[in-house]
Structure 1
Amino acid sequence: MVVSPGIMANGDSNSLLSLVSFLLFILITATAVTGDSDREVLLSFKSYLQSWNPTERGKYNEWETTEKQGVCQWPGIICTPEGSRIIGINLRDSTISGPLFGNFSALTQLAFLDLSSNTIGGSIPDDLNRCHNLKHLNLSLNIIERELSFSGLSNLEVLDLSVNRIEGDVHSSFPLLCNSLIVANLSTNNFSGRIDDIFNECRYLKYVDLRYNGFSGEIWSDFRRLVKFSVSRNRLSGNISASMFRGNCTLQVLDLSGNGFAGEFPGQVSNCQNLNVLDLWGNNFTGNIPAEIGSISSLRGLYFGKNEFSRDIPETLLNLSNLVFLDLSRNNFGGELQEIFGRFTQVEYLVLYGNSYVGGLYSSNILTLPNLSRLDLSYNNFSGRLPSEISQNLTFLILAYNNFSGDIPREYGNMPRLQALDLSFNRLTGSIPSSFGKLTSLLWLMLANNSLSGEIPREIGNCTSLLWFNVANNQLSGGFHPELTKMGSNPLPTFEVNRRTMDNTISRSGECLVMRRWIPAEFPPFKFVCATFTNKSCRTLWNHVLKGKCIFPVCPAGSIVDPLDISGYLQLSGNKLSGEVPANISQMKKLSMLHLGFNEFEGKLPIEIGLLPLAFLNLTRNKFSGQIPQEIGNLSSLQNLDLSYNNFSGNFPTSLNELSEMSKFNISYNPFISGVIPSSGQLATFGKDSFLGNPLLQLPSFFIQSGNNNSSSGERDNGREEDDDGAAIDMLVFYWSTFSFYVVALMGILVLMYLDCPWCRAWLRLLDAFMASLKSMLS
């Protein structure tokens, strides 16, 4: 076929157009196919997640399987700007459990993957190593375990594996990850091995967090070029040399706390002029605190506690105009409180607990620092009267575990911002000031283990934020005034203030100590949280509690679920309180623990107590009488119930058998209670020790035959340990007083027998049963 030149030219033009069109078609088709491929991977991922999470499901469950909705509109999915490819997946906090999905590499453009705050377990699959475009990987707050092996993620910029269970050495992954890495967070795992050379090739690295692991050996010497470096709570040792701070230093946070570093800390740290936080707490540093630190004007937090520094505080530290937090606790400082502390007018948080100070409270002027918000002088040897002149700006005043004596100054009621007052374990006498009723921001009032007397002021009921009140083991008398039931009714205003103002990065020393002291670990529901107390968790818990976030499991009366809620306690045990418990105790809707044991309360227990979300109720060794309220059976979250050594009477409430959460139970020595204890159900799990001294109660036969002693009826949770001899004497006194009652009753019966009383034989049988029980106990 012959074609003319003109036609050839026109044909070339058409051919070129056809070629371009064909290439565009191929490109569009390829893109569409690739997009469809991404969609299929996501649907496979969805099916995988659903198979491991058949009930509770996250936002991935909303991914559509039809063509009506584009993949880029699916929740948690991030696409390229033109919408052709998937580049990111964010399923943070999506109730995902089970092993990690093993086909992410099929998403060939995946650059962002966040699966944090789930319960993903197992090991990290090799497939993840084939995600070569991945720049951001966050698998934190899961339960991933075994060893780490990343070799193909050379483009990674952000790596967050914190709060998992990953173990082993990290040398197989570093420096292979170092090409582009900026953030490396491996904190709160089980990593081990050395770290002194693993980051040498990481040229762009700025943020390293290795806290709460088992790393050992010496520290990486080139940390000065980072912005943040934290190796807190490892097993590192050796000295911190001056050479580590030579040259340019860009550090803003340096956290070496909780290791075994020793020797003098070098003053060359002053080369780090951008430093905000210097944390050396919990090491073996000795010598003087470097005076050069006073030139770092940006410093806001200095944590030098639990070391062996000299007690001479350099004057240059007074130049730190931005200093907010100063911690010099547990450095074996003795004698008078150093005068220099009274000149830190800029400091808001001053923590000096666990030293051996004996005086200097007045001469140092520490009590009138104008900006002071938190003062912790607990665990020292201060004595004499409590100081009455004190800053009214305080939010936390902690003077516990000293030797203070005399009255509590009424001026302590003039601190409107006060949220915690701890004067426990001193030698205080006198009454609780009624001026405390003005402390409307108060969350904690801790006065236990003193010698306070008088009544609990009715005005305390005005403390509507007061959730945690402990006056155990004093000599308080008087009644449980109805006005007191208003305490803790509305803590929200205090929590809102903390949410607005708390600086989480600064306020972080001594939290573990006060949390253990202020949250009673031996009592439910607080066991739930206290069981998880570690140095790595209590700071988070502290912030949650102060901001009103719900961390305690609370079960409202009649409920079968345990929602997390703010859970208060009332500790009045070990006093001389008397009278009846008011019926309007039902207003204390946040009360989960009520300890009234070892007092002189009397009368009937109000049925309204069954309306509280109680997990713990202890009324032992009082004079309560009348029927045990059936309504206690509504306390479905009750774990610990002690009604022993009272005068309860009437039929035993079988509704208690429905308390399936109960693990400790004691109703011993209430001899006027009658009825039958069920042979099955929760009560049958406790054994005869929970029912001693109740001759009218009919116990299941297997209690006697098997000698089942599963109960913990003799718990001593009021802080007053009793020896076995004392307990035996108490038991004999109890039996003798009860025996005397029956002797009087018997004399009356003998008189009635002359009148041929038809029910006298029943009284005689009752006396015979009691004498048999007494004989058994005395033997």
Structure 2
Amino acid sequence: MGTFFSISVVVVVVFFLCFVHSTDYAHALTAPSDISALKAFKASIKPSSIPSWSCLASWDFAAADPCASPRRIHFTCGLTCSPDSTRLTQITLDPVGYSGTLTPLLSQLTQLHTLDLADNYFYGPIPSSISSLLNLQSLTLRSNNFSGSLPSSIANLKLLQALDLSRNSLSGFLPGAMDSMSGLRRLDLSFNRLEGSIPRLPPNLLELALKGNSLSGPLSKSSFDGSTQLEVVELSENSLTGTLRSWFFLLPSIQQVNLSNNSLTGVEISTPAAGQSDLVAVDLGFNKIQGYAPVNFAAYPLLSSLSLRYNRLRGKIPLEFGKKKSLRRLYLDGNFLIGQPPATFFGGQGQVSGSFGDNCLWGCPPSSQLCLPNQKPSSICKQAYGGKPKS
């Protein structure tokens, strides 16, 4: 009797646990549309590029459901599901060298808010159907081999906050409707093959990075209309031309600017109203800027780093630069500056680092690191000034 009772209890307990498990699994089933999208996503990746220990290797649709838990063997990483375990909300692949194309069927993952495939070998175009991911907040395809143009339909992603497509092979022009992406805060399209001018920017953008492309023409004020929150502008290594007008440095939130390695020929600097500015760092090195060193930079109260190296500047180093207490880095090398540098730079306190070398200065103390490399030969300086440069 006792043995029969014990066996009966065990059977009941096992049946109960199986019932609970099957019930939980039934409620954990991922939406069929999400499963078909994931299957297509994995099928578009070359099997030879999927290491046995990687996230994708654990995606076994025959053995488990993507959102079922616990994930001890299958779907161990790379995916995040909604609280009710029915929809995919995040795909974040490990950077192990996956190689393949991006399937248009990803558009079925309509609850996805994060897609991160960075540091792999995905190639081919970015499908325009990605614009159907209306809940997407972060799109990171950095350091792959995507090519073709940036789909204009990407402007439909109104909730997108961060877009990083840097270090690919994207070409063509920037979409003209990018200003409609009202949620975008960070945009990085650096190191691609983009060309043309910069369209009007999203109004709430904080950081803009477009370095290492083939953007051309002058910077237009209309591109930055409404950019009241823009803090960081990284446009180095392009083909921008013309004069950088004073409105640019008066953008209300601007803090860091890098426009080095372009073909700018001039720069206008206005004094900020009531001395109010958050500008901290400016790099205009390796352009073709002519004229005198822009003294009005000294009126920006927080400026600590300024580079105007390897341009075509003439005249003396402004005394105001030597009096500016916030300045910590100053690069003026590779110009045609003349005269004697302000003595305040050589007070022995070592407050400012940088270089005044490769100019036409005299009286620059050879013992100071600021005076390296050596000044230009006098013959070059005379030729640049049409005779002996005047002090």
Q: Smaller-chain TM-score range?
A: 0.7 to 0.9
- For the 8 Å contact 2:41–2:106, the answer to whether it is kept is no
**Pair 1:57-2:37 in alignment:** no
Matched with 1:141 is: 119
Distance 2:21 2:265 in 1: 74
Matched with 1:255 is: 234
Identify which of 82, 85, 89 aligns with 1:111.
89
Q: Which moved more, 1:32-41 or 1:183-192?
A: 32-41
The letter of the residue matching 1:238 is G
Distance 2:337 2:258 in 1: 23
**Pair 1:307-2:287 in alignment:** yes
- For the 8 Å contact 2:119–2:143, the answer to whether it is kept is yes
Distance 1:385 1:309 in 2: 23
Deviations 1:471-499 (A, max 9, x none): xxxxxxxxxxxxxxxxxxxxxxxxxxxxx
- Name the SS for the 2:121 alignment partner: coil
Shift of 1:49: 9.4
Distance 1:345 1:76 in 2: 51
Matched with 2:26 is: 30
The letter of the residue matching 1:190 is S
- For the 8 Å contact 2:146–2:168, the answer to whether it is kept is yes
Shift of 1:128: 2.3
Shift of 1:280: 2.3
Shift of 1:149: 0.9
Matched with 1:274 is: 253
- Name the SS for the 1:144 alignment partner: strand
The letter of the residue matching 2:219 is I
- Name the SS for the 2:297 alignment partner: helix
Q: 1:397 to 1:122 in 2, by over 3 A?
A: farther
Distance 1:344 1:367 in 2: 14
Distance 1:216 1:142 in 2: 25
Matched with 2:171 is: 192
**Pair 1:71-2:44 in alignment:** no
Alignment of 1:539-554 (within 5 A): none
Q: Which moved more, 1:213-222 or 1:40-49?
A: 40-49
- For the 8 Å contact 1:350–1:372, the answer to whether it is kept is no
Shift of 1:206: 1.9
Q: Which moved more, 1:37-46 or 1:281-290?
A: 37-46
Q: 1:400 to 1:346 in 2, by over 3 A?
A: same
Q: 1:47 to 1:133 in 2, by over 3 A?
A: closer
Distance 2:122 2:191 in 1: 16
Distance 2:307 2:221 in 1: 23
- For the 8 Å contact 2:40–2:103, the answer to whether it is kept is no
Shift of 1:32: 4.5
Matched with 2:331 is: 351
Shift of 1:282: 2.6
Shift of 1:264: 2.5
Shift of 1:326: 0.6
Higher helix share: 1
Identify which of 265, 280, 291 aligns with 1:286.
265
TM-score (norm 2): 0.72
Matched with 1:227 is: 206
Deviations 1:584-638 (A, max 9, x none): xxxxxxxxxxxxxxxxxxxxxxxxxxxxxxxxxxxxxxxxxxxxxxxxxxxxxxx
Q: Which has the larger radius of gyration?
A: 1
Deviations 1:626-673 (A, max 9, x none): xxxxxxxxxxxxxxxxxxxxxxxxxxxxxxxxxxxxxxxxxxxxxxxx
Matched with 1:98 is: none
Distance 1:272 1:231 in 2: 18
Matched with 2:12 is: none
**Pair 1:175-2:155 in alignment:** yes
Distance 1:267 1:35 in 2: 55
Q: 1:334 to 1:384 in 2, by over 3 A?
A: same
The letter of the residue matching 1:341 is F
- Name the SS for the 2:178 alignment partner: coil
The letter of the residue matching 2:216 is S
Q: Which moved more, 1:149-158 or 1:40-49?
A: 40-49
- Name the SS for the 1:365 alignment partner: helix
What's the Cα RMSD here?
4.3
- For the 8 Å contact 1:223–1:244, the answer to whether it is kept is no
Distance 2:151 2:189 in 1: 14
Shift of 1:332: 1.3
TM-score (norm 1): 0.39
Distance 1:307 1:341 in 2: 21
Distance 1:397 1:285 in 2: 25
Deviations 1:281-333 (A, max 9, x none): 23333344322458452111111222343443454422323222111111212
Distance 1:214 1:347 in 2: 35
Shift of 1:342: 1.6
Deviations 1:170-205 (A, max 9, x none): 1354234x2322211122221111115041432222
Q: 1:47 to 1:397 in 2, by over 3 A?
A: farther
Shift of 1:113: 1.2
The letter of the residue matching 2:137 is E
Distance 1:171 1:37 in 2: 24
Distance 1:235 1:166 in 2: 17
Shift of 1:133: 1.6
Alignment of 1:550-569 (within 5 A): none
Q: 1:315 to 1:135 in 2, by over 3 A?
A: same
Matched with 2:16 is: none
Matched with 1:156 is: 136
Matched with 2:5 is: none
Distance 1:36 1:262 in 2: 53
Deviations 1:122-160 (A, max 9, x none): 321233232222111111222222211141322211111
- Name the SS for the 1:341 alignment partner: helix
**Pair 1:374-2:363 in alignment:** no
Q: Which moved more, 1:222-231 or 1:161-170?
A: 222-231
Which ranges in structure 1 are unaligned for 5 or more consecutive residues?
Answer: 1-23, 86-107, 391-395, 405-779
Matched with 1:123 is: 101
Distance 1:247 1:41 in 2: 38
Matched with 1:17 is: none
Q: 1:119 to 1:360 in 2, by over 3 A?
A: farther
Matched with 1:210 is: 189
Alignment of 1:492-531 (within 5 A): none
The letter of the residue matching 1:31 is H
The letter of the residue matching 2:77 is G
Shift of 1:239: 2.6
The letter of the residue matching 2:331 is V
Matched with 2:386 is: none
Deviations 1:520-539 (A, max 9, x none): xxxxxxxxxxxxxxxxxxxx
Q: 1:179 to 1:354 in 2, by over 3 A?
A: same
- For the 8 Å contact 1:59–1:76, the answer to whether it is kept is yes
Distance 1:333 1:129 in 2: 53
Deviations 1:23-44 (A, max 9, x none): x999866315559999999999
Q: 1:365 to 1:205 in 2, by over 3 A?
A: same
Shift of 1:260: 2.7
Distance 1:36 1:259 in 2: 46
Shift of 1:169: 1.1
Deviations 1:503-530 (A, max 9, x none): xxxxxxxxxxxxxxxxxxxxxxxxxxxx
- Name the SS for the 2:333 alignment partner: coil
Q: 1:288 to 1:352 in 2, by over 3 A?
A: same
Deviations 1:713-771 (A, max 9, x none): xxxxxxxxxxxxxxxxxxxxxxxxxxxxxxxxxxxxxxxxxxxxxxxxxxxxxxxxxxx
Shift of 1:46: 10
- Name the SS for the 1:281 alignment partner: coil
Q: 1:217 to 1:209 in 2, by over 3 A?
A: same
Deviations 1:54-113 (A, max 9, x none): 8773467789989xx82279753665586x62xxxxxxxxxxxxxxxxxxxxxx611111
- Name the SS for the 1:262 alignment partner: strand
Distance 2:246 2:139 in 1: 33
- Name the SS for the 2:27 alignment partner: helix
